[in-house]
Amino acid sequence: MADDPKRQDPRVFFVGAGPGDPELITVKGRRLLRRADRVVYAGSLVPRALLDECKPGAELFDSAPLTLERTHALLVEAVRENRIVVRLHTGDPALYGAIQEQMNLLDREGIAYEVVPGVSAAFAAAARIGCQLTLPEVSQTVIFTRTAGRTPVPDRESLSSLAAHGSTMAIYLSVSQMEAVVEALRGAYPEETPVVVVYRVGWPDERILQGTLAHIAAKVREAGMDRQAVILVGEALNPKRYGTRSRLYDQSFSHGFRSSRP
């Protein structure tokens, strides 16, 4: 919770639902969902199976048609009536979740809240394709970003400038501009750089496209993907590229739990 971590007994919980598979919600998130008197959830982005976890009589509100002010009013009303309310967001609330403005309004009201993290689409996508996003001496950095749409992106965070690092990238909310994404990455990444696009990861209609920077835009276009997909880019995704072995499990490497061996 913001500013004052010592505030007791929050009655508003921002919970990450995960990317689609209802089993990917955290144990704490599921417990709070079952306890909630009111749940304000993120429309079609939250699986129905999670809403079925709610207790009988719990009030359910789809936030898709609501304004920030109306959503806030639903949270405050429940708190004033001494009820528990869960604001259920897709993925992880801290990433493109628009929770800061909601927390700011609660702060003004002096209402305590807690944020419960969730699994973001990039991590679920990496798990689905069986890859590690960081590899020793290949990439030790993951950049989370998006292209500009109706929400602008600061000039210093343009895709081309971020691509100059050559790191693993997870690009959200951008598959509808796939050609522009590829064009921005060219010059920083070789044409043979692996690219994976995962549509609705964790949902029954999940689709996975794997390719290279040279050909992925055509694959996306042919598949008709234009929304709800995460794009992973980088040499770490290459199944034949393992990099240097991690020192963590090397017998010559000592740490607080193990002594080195010659």
Residue spans per domain, the chain: 12-116, 121-241
Q: Which two tokens stand for residue 238?
A: 């290459």
SS3 content of the chain, % helix, strand, coil (to 5): 30, 20, 45
Q: So what's the pLDDT on residue 111? A: 96
The pTM of this model reads 0.88
Q: So what's the pLDDT on residue 96? A: 92
8-state DSSP, 146: E
Q: Which two tokens stand for residue 230?
A: 């995460």
The band of 251, judged by pLDDT with boundaries at 50, 70 and 90, is low
The burial of 7, by beta-carbon neighbours within 10 Å (0-12 exposed, 13-18 middle, 19 or more buried), is given as middle
Contact 75, 87 (CB under 8 A): yes
Residue 87, pLDDT above cutoff 50: yes
Q: So what's the pLDDT on residue 254? A: 57
Report the distance separating Cα 170 and Cα 145, nearest Å: 6
The band of 137, judged by pLDDT with boundaries at 50, 70 and 90, is confident
Segment (H or E) for 103: helix 100-109
Q: So what's the pLDDT on residue 9? A: 83
Class of domain 121-241: alpha beta
At which residue do the structure tokens 């835009």 appear?
217
Segment (H or E) for 177: none
Residue 81, φ and ψ in degrees, nearest 5: -95, 15
Q: Which residues contact 58 (CB under 8 A, 6 or more apart)?
A: 36, 37, 38, 39
Q: Which of 109-118, 142-151, 243-252 has the highest mean pLDDT?
A: 109-118
Residue 243, pLDDT above cutoff 90: no
Pick from 74-88, 94-108, 193-207, 245-259: least confident = 245-259
Provide the mean pLDDT of the chain: 91
Same fold, 12-116 and 121-241: no
The band of 22, judged by pLDDT with boundaries at 50, 70 and 90, is very high
Report the distance separating Cα 221 and Cα 204, nearest Å: 21
Among candidate residues 205, 181, 206, the one with its CA nearest the CA of residue 195: 181
3-state secondary structure of 58: coil
- CATH architecture of residue range(s) 12-116: 3-Layer(aba) Sandwich (3.40)
Residue 1: alpha-carbon gap to chain centroid:
19
Q: So what's the pLDDT on residue 150? A: 84
Q: What is the mean pLDDT of residues 23-43?
A: 97
The band of 5, judged by pLDDT with boundaries at 50, 70 and 90, is very low
